[in-house]
Amino acid sequence: DAGITQSPRHKVTETGTPVTLRCHQTENHRYMYWYRQDPGHGLRLIHYSYGVKDTDKGEVSDGYSVSRSKTEDFLLTLESATSSQTSVYFCAISESKRPARSTEAFFGQGTRLTVV
Instruction: Report in angstroms how near the CB of residue 104 gets to other proteins at its nearest.
Output: 4
For other proteins, which is the closer residue by CB, 32 or 79?
Answer: 32
Alpha-carbon torsion, ordered 89, 15, 73, 50, to 10 deg: 70
Residues 71-100 that bind other proteins (CB under 8 A): 88, 90, 92, 97-99
Residue 90 C-beta: closest distance to other proteins, Å: 5
Does 64 bind other proteins (CB under 8 A)? Our answer is no
Measured distance CA(70)–CA(75) in Å, rounded? 10
Closest CA to 44 of 60, 56, 31: 60
Which 14-43 residues touch other proteins, going by CB under 8 A?
Answer: 31, 37, 39-43
Count CA atoms closer than 13 A to 108's CA, side-chain side. Answer: 30
State yes or no: residue 107 binds other proteins (CB under 8 A). Answer: yes
Q: Which residues of 14-23 are buried (b: 16+ CB within 10 A; e: fewer)?
A: eeeeebebeb
Q: Which residues 41-60 are close enough to bind other proteins by CB under 8 A? A: 41-45, 48, 50, 56, 58-59
Looking at the DSSP assignment, which residues form a beta bridge with residue 65?
Answer: 77
Residues that bind other proteins (CB under 8 A): 31, 37, 39-45, 48, 50, 56, 58-59, 88, 90, 92, 97-99, 101, 104-110, 112
